[in-house]
């Protein structure tokens, strides 16, 4: 199903979108956040998509190359720099959720910065599924091959998210709550940037 922003109802709930962009991009050899995409770069593309969601606040989580990235992206959105980014994605998730958990948000959406086909309607699709399914309080993106971010988490998971560490992110937590999980289709969501040859895919 395709969700057009202009047709979406005004939502009463409020969301935090955390853009996880703290990694060092070791396999690529340069910051993937700043890889050219269209007239901008991958991180700015993600920021633009997230910023179109009227009932959400976007927060950017940086770590490696934080000064270079901050100087390159043009945004007034809050930037949080994780001092322990070397400990992996799980640690950056915990850091980011810790920054917003005491604010008034009905759920948190975790997204990454290297999915070139991510657009604003997919965030709306996650929200629609969360608000429309009484048994769903965790929504994962379903790719053609596999699944992953962007992912939406109800506040009941905030404590668990804040306890994450290492490179595995929230995968184990999702597997432990499969009865509560909904899936939002994200075609080409499995296309991301890890190494130079990935840049040939878009």
Span 46-86, pLDDT tens digits: 999 999 999 999 999 999 999 999 988 878 899 999 999 99
pLDDT above 70 (res 185): yes
Q: How confident is the model at residue 199 (pLDDT cuts 50, 70, 90)?
A: low
Res 106: pLDDT: 95
Q: What is the mean pLDDT of residues 77-101?
A: 95
- Give the pTM: 0.90
**In sequence order, what DSSP letters do the residues of 43-93 get, joined into one string?**
HHHHHHHHHT-TTEEEEEEEBTBHHHHHHHS---S-EEE-TTGGG-HHHHH
Among 21, 116, 32, 6, CA closest to 77: 21
Res 197: pLDDT: 64
pLDDT above 70 (res 100): yes
Res 202: pLDDT: 62
Q: Of all residues in the chain, what percent carry a pLDDT higher than 70?
A: 88
Element (H, E) at 160: helix 158-162
Cβ(139)–Cβ(182) under 8 Å?
yes
Higher pLDDT, 186 or 74: 186
pLDDT above 60 (res 159): yes
Higher pLDDT, 51 or 135: 51
Cβ(185)–Cβ(150) under 8 Å?
no
pLDDT above 90 (res 4): no
Residues 6+ apart with CB under 8 A from 110: 18, 20, 93, 96, 149, 150, 151, 152, 153, 170
Q: Label residue 188 left, alpha or beta by phi (over 0 means left) and psi (-120 to 50 means alpha).
A: left
Higher pLDDT, 147 or 202: 147
Please state, as a whole number, how many other Cβ atoms lie within 10 Å of the Cβ of residue 176.
10
Map out the domains of the chain with their CATH numbers: 14-201 (3.90.550.10)
Q: Distance between CA 23 and CA 32 in Å, rounded?
A: 9
Give just the sign of the alpha carbon dihedral 148, 20, 63, 165.
negative
């Amino acid at each position: 199903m395709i969700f057009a922003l202009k047709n979406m109802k005004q939502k009463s709930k409020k969301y935090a979108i955390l853009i996880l962009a703290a990694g060092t991009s070791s396999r690529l050899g340069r910051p993937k956040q700043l890889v050219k995409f269209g007239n901008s770069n991958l991180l700015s593309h993600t920021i633009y998509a997230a910023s179109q969601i009227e009932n959400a606040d976007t927060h950017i989580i940086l770590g490696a190359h934080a000064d270079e990235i901050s100087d390159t992206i043009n945004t007034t959105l809050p930037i949080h720099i994780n001092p322990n980014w070397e400990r992996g994605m799980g640690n950056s998730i915990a850091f980011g959720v810790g920054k917003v958990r005491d604010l008034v948000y009905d759920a948190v959406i975790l997204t990454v910065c290297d999915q070139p086909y991510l657009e604003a309607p997919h965030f709306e699709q996650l929200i629609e599924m969360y608000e429309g399914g009484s048994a769903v309080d965790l929504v994962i993106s379903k790719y053609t091959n596999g699944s992953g971010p962007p992912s939406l988490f109800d506040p009941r998971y905030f404590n668990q998210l804040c306890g994450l560490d290492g490179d595995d992110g929230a995968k184990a937590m999702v597997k432990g709550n499969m009865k509560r999980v909904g899936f939002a289709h994200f075609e080409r969501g499995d296309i991301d940037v890890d190494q130079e040859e990935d840049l040939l895919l878009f």
